[in-house]
Amino acid sequence: MSLVTPDLGLLFWMVVIFGTVFFLLAKFGFPIITDSLDKRNAKISKSLKDADEIAVLMSDWKVEHARLMEEARREHSAILRSATETKSRIMDEARAKARLETEKMVADAKRQIAAEKESALRDVRKEIALLSVEVAEKILRSELSDESSQRSFIDSLVDEAHQTPLHS
Amino acid sequence: MILAFLISLLLVMPGIGVSVMPGTDQASEIAGQAGNDGGSGEEVDVSEIIFEHIGDEYEWHMATWKGKDIAIPLPCIVIEDGVQVFTLHHAEEHGYKLNENGKLVNARTGKRPIDLSITKNVAALMISSLLLLVVVLITARWYKRHDALEEAPTGLAAAVEPLIAMAHEMARENIGEKDYRKFSPYLCMVFLWILFNNFLGIVPFFPGGANLTGNIAITLVLALFTFFTVNFCGTRHYYKELFNPDVPGFLKPIMPIIEVFSALMKPVSLTVRLFANMLAGHIMILCMVCTIFIVAKYGPALSGGLTLVSVLFGVFLDALECLVAFIQAYVFTTLSSIYIGLARQHEEH
């Protein structure tokens, strides 16, 4: 039957047409496309490999980063601690100095006050002595205005001189 | 893509489309009319309809309208004492007539001339090949104009690329990293060509509808292309295995015979596999469609029910054919690549 006997004309045309189309596409069609596909495949696999490498690098970096962070944190706290220490030391020192200063000042003031007091006392004493001499003078003058009283005063003085030890 | 084919298929089967929609009485009436138009007289000649569809003819018959055939005339080219070109209508003027197989023969002697006519199949072959050429060249142009490393393909390129990538990958897997590039274009070509024509064969109207991949001449040529590629590109190792395989002494005389026979059987199996699968698919679908017209005379209830059944089966078979169309293209290409891969083996394997 004609169904299973290949027809010569169709065979001929099939060879010609298929051959022509194949020739054209094998020259201008498929290689361009498949080359692009190959290039893209290569790029994709390369990108994947690169991504893997970068991921490894990244994890290394992460470890490094964590280490650095830890170190920085330690350093930070150390600096803080030392700063606090310095601060309290400086404050202590300042406080001690201030106390010394104050004590010195207080002592100076006390000394000065004592000196002032002394000189004031001295002045007062001197004044009192002068005053008493003056008073005595006035009293003497008023009491020795007449002869008798002068005599009696001299007598009393002589008595007094007798009563007291010789050298006075 | 498959869906589009299916939809187009349903749209252009007016017999089915119309008969399902209205009531069963109308359906049978229309089906009956259609049956009368399609066949001769009351009886529907199923085998004639089927053979007309799956066979070849000298003009592209599209429809029969009120007893008149609507067909695209195609040039008949015969070589017998010189080349003669004519259409089928003028065959007798040139001294030719159709024999009982529907082939042109010399009216006087009854002998077949060398017949290079542009038949329906040849015309379909030209159209589909041209279409394939254009599609692939447009795709190639996309890759020439764009950097495939930077942007994803768009439009036609995006549709064709996976198919080409599939064939290319087949070549690489089965032929080997070393020289698959040389054979990749052939495998791409075979894959796309078969796929294209398988699908066009399912489309029932003009540019499609020809039973190309279900024609033994077509599949024979494809298989022979593979056969020659395999046997002209074989390595020394391949020929040694073919004619002087490494077997115990008593098998020495028998093995070459078996090996050569199997080498010759490979193209035959390729030919018959594709041919038979596609032909069977076409026949099954045609049978389902013809059932509608055969049962038209059995009364509304029976014919309506059977029409519904055959429509459902027809849809199922069309879906199946879409699957088969892809699988057969894939199988043919894979086997071709495996055969080429075997022929390209080297000693170290």
Identify the pLDDT of residue B119.
Answer: 87
What are the structural domain ranges in chain A?
Answer: 21-141
Selected residue of A4, A12, A33 to mutate for chain B interface (largest B Cβ count, 10 A): A33
A16 close to B (CB below 8 A): no
**Out of A100-104, A110-114, B256-260, least confident range:** B256-260
Interface contact flag, B136 A30, Cβ < 8 Å: yes
Facing A9 at nearest CB: one of B119, B144, B148: B119
8 A C-beta contact, residue A4 and residue B268: no
Identify the pLDDT of residue B60.
Answer: 85
Chain A, nearest residue to B272 by Cα: A4
What is the mean predicted confidence (pLDDT) over B135-142?
Answer: 91
Gyration radius of chain B over CA positions: 24
Interface contact flag, A21 B143, Cβ < 8 Å: no
Kindly list the residues from chain A whose CB atom is less than 8 angstroms away from the CB atom of residue B194.
none
Residue B40 pLDDT greater than 50, yes or no: no
Q: What angle (nearest 5°) sits at the alpha carbon of residue B343, between those of residues B338 and B348? A: 105
A165 close to B (CB below 8 A): no
Identify the pLDDT of residue B61.
Answer: 81
Residue A2 pLDDT greater than 50, yes or no: yes
Q: How far is A46 from chain B (nearest CA, A)?
A: 12
Residue B150 pLDDT greater than 50, yes or no: yes
Facing B144 at nearest CB: one of A18, A20, A32: A32
Closest CA to B173 of B331, B334, B329, B326: B334
Split at pLDDT 50, 70, 90, the class of B6 is very low
Identify the pLDDT of residue B75.
Answer: 87
CB neighbour burial string for A115-130, b if at least 16 within 10 angstroms, e if fewer = eeeeeeeeeeeeeeee
Predicted TM-score (pTM) of the model is 0.72
Q: How far is B32 from chain A (nearest CA, A)?
A: 30
B265 close to A (CB below 8 A): no
What is the mean predicted confidence (pLDDT) over B249-273?
Answer: 89
Percent of the residues in chain A that have a pLDDT greater than 90, as a whole number: 63
Mean pLDDT over each residue of chain A, to the nearest integer: 89
Mean pLDDT over each residue of chain B, to the nearest integer: 82
Split at pLDDT 50, 70, 90, the class of B107 is confident
Interface contact flag, B217 A40, Cβ < 8 Å: no
Residue B16 pLDDT greater than 60, yes or no: no
A15 close to B (CB below 8 A): yes
B74 close to A (CB below 8 A): no
- Torsions phi, psi of A143, nearest 5? -80, -25
Q: How far apart are CA B336 and CA B5, in angstroms?
A: 28
Q: What is the pLDDT of residues B283-304, one digit of tens each?
A: 888 888 888 888 888 888 888 8
Closest CA to B332 of B234, B239, B213, B252: B213
Split at pLDDT 50, 70, 90, the class of B38 is very low
Identify the pLDDT of residue B28.
Answer: 39
Residue A146 pLDDT greater than 60, yes or no: yes
What is the mean predicted confidence (pLDDT) over B113-118?
Answer: 86
8 A C-beta contact, residue B137 and residue A28: yes
Q: How far apart are CA A9 and CA B67, in angstroms?
A: 30
Q: How far apart are CA B90 and CA B103, in angstroms?
A: 15
What is the mean predicted confidence (pLDDT) over B268-274?
Answer: 93
**Out of A99-103, A154-158, B101-105, B283-287, least confident range:** B101-105
Q: What SS3 state is found at B84?
A: strand
Split at pLDDT 50, 70, 90, the class of B236 is confident
**Out of A113-122, B63-72, B221-230, least confident range:** B63-72
Identify the pLDDT of residue B270.
Answer: 93
Identify the pLDDT of residue B1.
Answer: 42
Interface contact flag, A6 B220, Cβ < 8 Å: yes
Identify the pLDDT of residue B42.
Answer: 54
Q: How far apart are CA B18 and CA B27, in angstroms?
A: 7
Q: What is the pLDDT of residues B248-257, one digit of tens each?
A: 888 888 888 8
DSSP string, A50-111: HHHHHHHHHHHHHHHHHHHHHHHHHHHHHHHHHHHHHHHHHHHHHHHHHHHHHHHHHHHHHH
Q: How many alpha carbons lie under 13 Å from residue B247 in its C-beta half-sphere?
A: 15
Closest CA to B219 of B331, B110, B138: B331
Per the model's pLDDT, the better-predicted residue between B10 and B228 turns out to be B228
Identify the pLDDT of residue A167.
Answer: 57
Does an H or E element contain A24, and which?
Answer: helix A8-28
What is the mean predicted confidence (pLDDT) over B255-268?
Answer: 90
Residue A9 pLDDT greater than 90, yes or no: no
Q: What is the pLDDT of residues A72-108, one digit of tens each?
A: 999 999 999 999 999 999 999 999 999 999 999 999 9
Identify the pLDDT of residue B103.
Answer: 83
8 A C-beta contact, residue B219 and residue A13: no
Kindly list the residues from chain B whose CB atom is less than 8 angstroms away from the CB atom of residue A47.
none
Split at pLDDT 50, 70, 90, the class of A124 is very high
Per the model's pLDDT, the better-predicted residue between A1 and A58 turns out to be A58
ipTM over 0.90: no
Split at pLDDT 50, 70, 90, the class of A165 is low
B187 close to A (CB below 8 A): no
* Size of chain A, expressed as the number of residues it contains: 168
Interface contact flag, A21 B144, Cβ < 8 Å: no
